[in-house]
Structure 1
């Protein structure tokens, strides 16, 4: 993941109390057991699933969904969503604020992330991403046909793909312009006639007394301190997913019009939810 977006103000300092460190230890152990225990079961089941079903994964996505749903219980973070899940074949596009987005979007819907190829080489995270079926792509025009074929294979296997069109995470207080590059693959002759895209807004409600950008992860922020901060809060906030109506790719003239439409819908619902957030502080 690229973390190139920079805030005009420095990240809030991390202060952990004695009780907070206790929570870090207890929640950290429980979260690690949940994630790696789930991964172990997934890999065992995949040994049976792969030779029988190939690209299709009729069982293992439920393990990922179970782990992600229960991760929020371990963290003490509230989780809820509104809107109807897309049933058509296609992709989900969402704004991006934090590493917590991965848990949130997997918790509600069985999806497969699309990520840049470099992530596959990241220690720990790359291993988890590969095990859960992440689609790795190279932002190279010469790879366009190859990547379109890969998307087609995954979509025809009834995989819902997830893109973060902003290309970076933010502080959660804004929606950046959607990059149009990845939308181009949707308009290939092999995909556009059957493919739908569903915009999704991710909004974080901070713990009481904490800044609105509490859960945001951006710029040069390290994962470790952000994880510790998240684990150490006694009374957590919540994450909300807003599923907006899906649209048919063939109803749009090109990638720019589709990206602009999705951006506008996500931006509109994000602004409304953020305004509600701030009015409740």
Structure 2
């Protein structure tokens, strides 16, 4: 059964006009060049970083962060950051709105994303995800213990993980119930006393006059069409990243209680005009 979220009134993807296609090209081409240069430099640095530091990656995440900042400079989407990324060891959890969340959540702070295993095989995106140290997981209960060990290994290295407990992207106007399975790894005996979870709310505001769910990417929307729509828009909107106070893992009795608390905080960051029926 798919976890993909669908709405009853999914808006059609508007097709860019001639001017829109030109603007799309003017933005997409330089960004692809920056991505390519950043990837080459990252891989070259990784040749030295890997034998010296293994999976700790103290240097290469800065290439990812620079490329993500370039996305906002080129696209024209305004990025606002409220609050501070935590300094404690642990992970961040956020609501999932679109493919652009990768840029939105990487620009303010270097993080390592947790993604479904299928992404590793996607053309282009899979290569970038592997190069930047993404943690790939299988949503298979039989592999739960293996996945917990992978999480523990990364957390013990001091890496800050970022994942989306909803398990799917939405229209950006709601927060779906958080799945608690990925929270289990944080309760290992050697981790629960030192780890923190920081809830993060992302708020996408559309360009003036555009559909409120303009930046949302969900259901069966095609990536290419959505990318063309976003980058081919002359007047852009904005996205706000709200970093809430971190939650100490040891203050909670188990994964379900922690997941529920993090969900409540992320949902509480939504302004009243964003809230929709769950």
- Into which bin does the TM-score normalised by the smaller protein fall? over 0.9
User: What do residues 201-233 of structure 1 show as CA deviations (whole Å, max 9, x unaligned)?
Assistant: 001010011011000000000100000001111
Match of residue 278 from structure 1? none
CA distance in 1 between partners of 2:38 and 2:240 (Å): 24
Gaps of 5+ in 1: 276-281
Contact 1:203–1:241 (8 Å) recurs in 2: yes
Match of residue 217 from structure 1? 217
- TM-superposed CA distance for 1:26, in Å, is 0.8
Contact 2:152–2:186 (8 Å) recurs in 1: no
Gaps of 5+ in 2: none
Moved more, 166-175 or 122-131: 122-131
- Secondary structure of the corresponding residue to residue 10 of structure 1: coil
Match of residue 62 from structure 1? 62
Match of residue 247 from structure 1? 247
CA distance in 2 between partners of 1:177 and 1:70 (Å): 32
Per the alignment, do residues 172 and 226 of structure 1 end up closer, same or farther by CA in structure 2, a change over 3 Å counting? same
User: What do residues 220-274 of structure 1 show as CA deviations (whole Å, max 9, x unaligned)?
Assistant: 0010000000111111011110000001111001111111111111111113473
Match of residue 226 from structure 1? 226
Match of residue 238 from structure 2? 238
Match of residue 96 from structure 1? 96
- TM-superposed CA distance for 1:140, in Å, is 2.7
User: What do residues 162-219 of structure 1 show as CA deviations (whole Å, max 9, x unaligned)?
Assistant: 1100000001111111111111121122321211100000010100110110000000
CA distance in 2 between partners of 1:156 and 1:66 (Å): 25
CA distance in 1 between partners of 2:10 and 2:237 (Å): 22
CA distance in 1 between partners of 2:57 and 2:248 (Å): 25
Q: How many residues align?
A: 274
CA distance in 2 between partners of 1:163 and 1:20 (Å): 33
| TM-score (norm. length: structure 2) | 0.95
- TM-superposed CA distance for 1:32, in Å, is 0.6
- TM-superposed CA distance for 1:138, in Å, is 1.8
User: What do residues 32-59 of structure 1 show as CA deviations (whole Å, max 9, x unaligned)?
Assistant: 1111211111111101110111111111
Q: CA RMSD in A?
A: 1.4
Contact 2:80–2:240 (8 Å) recurs in 1: yes
Per the alignment, do residues 156 and 23 of structure 1 end up closer, same or farther by CA in structure 2, a change over 3 Å counting? same
Match of residue 262 from structure 2? 262
Contact 2:205–2:239 (8 Å) recurs in 1: yes
- The structure with the greater share of residues assigned to helix is 1
Contact 1:78–1:239 (8 Å) recurs in 2: yes
